[in-house]
Amino acid sequence: MLETVYVALGSNEGDSMATLRSALQHLAARHGVSLLACSGAWETTPVGPVTQGNYLNAALSLQTEIAPRALLNILLEIEGHHGRKRLVRWGPRTLDLDILLYGDHLIEEPGLRIPHPWLRRRLFVLEPLLEIAPELIHPEDGEPLADSLDALRLLQQERVLRVADLAPEEN
Hey, which residues are catalytic here?
84, 93, 96, 98
Which string of b and e fits 118-143 if b means at least 16 CB within 10 Å?
ebbebbbbbbbbbbbbeebebeeeee
Helices within 11-113 (DSSP H only): 16-28, 68-81
The burial class, CB within 10 Å (0-12 / 13-18 / 19+), for 42 is buried
CA distances from 161 to 22, 24, 45, 91, 104 (A): 21, 20, 10, 21, 29
Q: Is 45 helix (H, G, I), strand (E, B) or coil?
A: coil
- In the chain, % helix, strand, coil (3-state, to 5) comes to 30, 30, 40
